[in-house]
Structure 1
Amino acid sequence: MMICLKKCMGSVAIAIMAMTVTADAVSQTPSHREELPNAPASQLLAQTGVQLSGANSVSATTTPRQNQTPSSSSSPANRTKLTRSQAEQMAIKNNPQVSVARLLALAQHQVYRETRSSELPIANAAITGVEAEDASRISAGSLTASRLFTHAGAGGGFSQLLTDFGKTRNLVASAVLQDKAQKANALATQFDVELATDQAFYNALQAQETLKVAQQNVTTRQTLQSQVNQMTINKLKSTLDLSFADVSLSQAKLLSLDAQNNADSTMAALDAVLGIDHQEEFELVDDGPDTRQPPPDIDQLVQASLKQRPDLQATQFSQQAAEKFSHAQRDQMFPTIAASGTVGSVPIRPSQYYTTNWWGGIGVNINIPVFNGFLYSAQAKEASLRAQAASEQTRDLRDRIVRDVRTAWLTANTSYQRVSVTAELLKEADLGLKLAQTRYQMGLSSIVELSQAEYQQTDAAIGNANAQYQYRLALATLNYQVGSVP
């Protein structure tokens, strides 16, 4: 009695352990796996006349979506093929962030033209006709006492800045540097969008691959459930094994639903990066280069990043522009010298008051600021402090770029090593699964051992596939940090 009780308790423990293993297996993202073997104890099945499908009956061409809720996604045959380079070009063309950055750069160039206008001559023309009481004077509403005459005349005037001792020159230089900074920001935005496109592209690829594996997993579990069901009918397996197979099948279906949702979400994220305002399904094609080792010289990458990063260039231009502006604010306290002139004709005039029909004159004006409540000195101090702050911001960005390049390089190297390690792990897991299948066919092991081997092979396949995509994404991130996004 005690021996029988121990055997029963052992069987229950094995079943509980099997369910736990399966729950852990389906909680992980699945991948392609080996096909299921024949049912165990085939010699007994032959005696009963039960015909079951063999290990090779479940092929990769089997319809993967059976027994699942239909999805609204279009079939692969109707999808447009999209490579990573094509996705980047589409994002640069359609993404609104790139358009905004370019428009701001064009607007900043007009600011430069506005500032430079102070160095150029200003000319204007006027035509005036007056009907008035001759020799009358304005006696209200004005401090002047100009006399009014009936007349008609036309003339023009001009003014030209001669010198303001560097103020306008520094303002123009500051505007030029701000123009360059905005162009560098536009390029940095383009790099950001390209990196975001790569991330969304590889995430969508991973999600689609996971969905394929989840669908195949449902097919595989369905086949296993059918086999166990037939063996249970023929009294070769207990209802506990059938219940275990039913649970595994239900969990596989739930996993497939989650994978479908994840695939749709990542595709929606990719559509947003591409600047598409509606749902569009693509057949993603990975056109990335073959796996290659990251550059070995980290110091060379750091130096290249400090020369090529457009966001650092933008910050440096902004710092130089702030310094020029601080000099311009200081130069406000210097005199301003400008020339002006006017000339014109009065063909219609009272002859008793006008001795000639034209006028003209030219002169030089010197404006010397004396006191304005310390306004100019306060503005100069403010601009100087902001220039110092801009210098510190540039130094902070340089430090962060060095850190990010080193971190990206370390991540790329680790990802590169993971590719070979996961490939070896997948090879070992494949071998373990084949051995477990052989033992299962010979009736030397239970379904628990096969499920464990299958879970290990699935996990290894997922790790190998993810390692490939993660390494390519790590390379794209490293190129971005260096400032050489292809």
Structure 2
Amino acid sequence: MSKTSLLLSIAMMSTTCVAQQPPKPLPDAPPPRLLAQTTPPPAGSQPNAPAAPTPSPNGPRLTLAEAEKIALAHNPNVSIAHLLQLASAQVTRETRASELPLADADITAVAAHDNSRLTAGALNNPVVYDRAAAGLTVRQLITDFGRTHNLIKNSQSNSKAQLENERATLADITLAVDQAFYQALTAQQILKVAQQTVKTRQATGEQIGALTKQSLRSTLDLSLANVQVSQARLLVLDAQNSAQAGMAELNAILGSDAYQQYDLVDETPHSPQAAPANTEELVRLALRARPDLAALHDQALGARQFASAEHDLTRPTISALAAAGGTPVRADQIQSSWYGAAGANISIPLFNGFAYSARAKEADLRAQAASERVRNLQDIVARDVRRDVLNAQIAFQRIGVSQQLLDQANNALELAQARYQVGLSGIADLTQAQLAQTQAEIGYANARYTYQTALAELRFQTGQ
């Protein structure tokens, strides 16, 4: 049998049985190995190809649940929201103080010029006597016909809104952790693909170099193989940059001021459940459970209560005042060694330049604006839930398509390797198959983690 006939028969066998057995060796050539499974040469052995970058050592292992726990404990935004919530609770106590008695202790000592009188200044009692006295003054609001009560309810609603804002901050941080975690996990997975690509293409270059020395392959094939190795190294550099940037973003979300390299634990199922399809039920759930929407509801309620309090400014205010004390040191004109008095006062607002009516109108308009903000956020929440459900459904479908593409790319690469080994195809077909297989692996990794990110965003949008 001639050499040409032998090559044709081997090619026919390789195209039909390549998945079951390796191709036969070329005459006068060293025993071939599957190019994707060969051992890479030592650094510097490949002509015109620099050494592959060494991956950085892995740090402590970190799961998604652990990352969320660390972020909720150390992220400064969580502390800010909690402190603001505690501060808003004190506003309620400040407002409620108007309903409670106010007591002042007074100690007074006066030395007066004999037979002197205060004769200039505001209207007052001009008599001044020598004395030393101590006493107690108590003031109590009897009623202002609802204004203070409405101000207290307004403070309570605002405090409740701030509590919902704290919950919304926790949800924001949790979503940010999930997004950063899956982004960093994607970058780490792409880095592994890139490093494996360098090894595979180095092995290809090594084998082509051996065949070139025996004049079974041209120097053009070797040059193109070296180009593929260099491109793979560039892919590694880009992947390393993305991995470090993703890790820096994750460190920032975790509340760490120092850079920590983590070994992210991939708990993503390879066969995840399908995305939810009951969109309108999720919209109703979001309108009930979203903490930021609940906060706006409370703020709108507080705005209406404050508007009622502003309308109450035109009503009278009734208060009581009592004072008692002793005067152990006193002038002869002061007969009694103690004093005591009590009274009530009614203050009726008559005219203040229309300030009260303007304040009431302003409060009404602000309350209407707060109600419109609630309605606007409801529309945004419904839109975002529907959009994220669609994104999750598409992301889930991309997993299946990406898996099929990866399987087809792997099969195509095996066929291209076999055909190239027996001389039925050129280096261009082999490099194209290698590129398609690398892109398919990267696409599959992106699809898996994009779907998990989409589910995290959907949980956020529905208040879960």
TM-score (norm 1): 0.85
| 1:324 partner amino acid | Q
* Cα offsets for 1:331-383 (capped at 9, x unmatched): 10111111111111111112x31221111111111111111111000111111
Change (3 A) 1:346 1:85: same
1:310 aligns with 2:294: no
Q: Is the 8 A contact 1:84 1:288 kept in 2?
A: no
Query: Does residue 1:43 correspond to 2:23, yes or no?
Result: no
Q: Distance in 1 between matches of 2:301 and 2:267?
A: 41
Number of the residue aligned with 1:136: 116
Decide whether the 8 Å contact of 2:323 with 2:342 is kept in 1: yes
Amino acid at match of 1:44: P
Q: CA deviation at 1:226?
A: 1.9
Give the secondary-structure state (helix, strand or coil) at the position aligned to 2:375: helix
SS in 2 for 1:168: helix
Equivalent in 190, 203, 217 of residue 223 of structure 1: 203
Of residues 252, 259, 270 in structure 1, which corresponds to 2:232? 252
Match of 2:129 among 141, 149, 165: 149
2:147 matched to 1:167? yes
> In 1, Cα distance between the equivalents of 2:82 and 2:207?
63
- Give the structure 2 partner of residue 390 of structure 1: 370
Report SS of the residue matched to 1:257: helix
- Superposed displacement of residue 386, structure 1: 0.7
Aligned residue identity for 1:307: R
Q: Aligned-pair distance for 1:67?
A: 1.1
Rounded Cα–Cα distance in structure 2 between residues aligned with 1:347 and 1:452:
108
Structure 2 regions of 5+ residues with no counterpart? 1-20, 44-49
1:292 maps to which of 270, 273, 277? 273
Aligned residues: 438
Shift of 1:450: 2.0
On the 8 A contact 2:224/2:427 being kept in 1, the answer is no
Please report how far the alpha carbon of residue 384 of structure 1 lies from its aligned counterpart in structure 2 after TM superposition: 0.4
**CA–CA distance in 1 between the matches of 2:65 and 2:268?**
9
Percentage of pairs with the same residue: 47
Could you say which residue in structure 2 is the equivalent of 1:472?
452
1:444 aligns with 2:388: no
Q: CA deviation at 1:184?
A: 0.4
Matched, 1:120 2:100: yes
Distance 2:226 2:337 in 1: 110
Work out whether residues 134 and 148 of structure 1, in 8 Å CA contact, stay in contact via their aligned partners in 2.
Answer: no
1:21 alignment partner in structure 2 = none
Query: What residue identity is the alignment partner of 2:70?
Result: M
Unaligned runs of 5+ in 1: 1-36
* Pick aligned residue for 2:174 from 194, 197, 201: 194
Superposition map of 1:335-414 within 5 A = 335-350=316-331, 352-414=332-394
**Of 392-401 and 254-263, the range deviating more from structure 2:** 254-263
Q: For the residues of structure 1 that align with 2:319 and 2:39, how far apart are their CA atoms? A: 89
- Stretch of structure 1 that moved more, 399-408 or 147-156: 147-156
2:76 matched to which residue of 1? Answer: 96
Secondary structure in structure 1 of the residue aligned to 2:199: helix
Indicate conservation of the 8 Å contact 2:147/2:309, yes or no: yes
Counterpart Cα distance in 2 of 1:235 and 1:59: 23
State the distance in 2 between where 1:45 and 1:256 align.
36
- 1:153-194 per-position Cα deviation (integer Å, ceiling 9, x unaligned): 111111111111111111111110000001101110110011
| 1:320 has 2:301 as partner | yes
Superposed CA RMSD? 2.3
Contact kept? 1:210, 1:259, Cα under 8 Å: yes
Shift of 1:431: 2.2
Q: Residues 360, 59 of structure 1: CA spacing in aligned structure 2 closer, same or farther, 3 A cutoff?
A: farther
- Alpha-carbon distance between aligned partners in 2 of 1:222 and 1:245, rounded to the nearest angstrom: 8
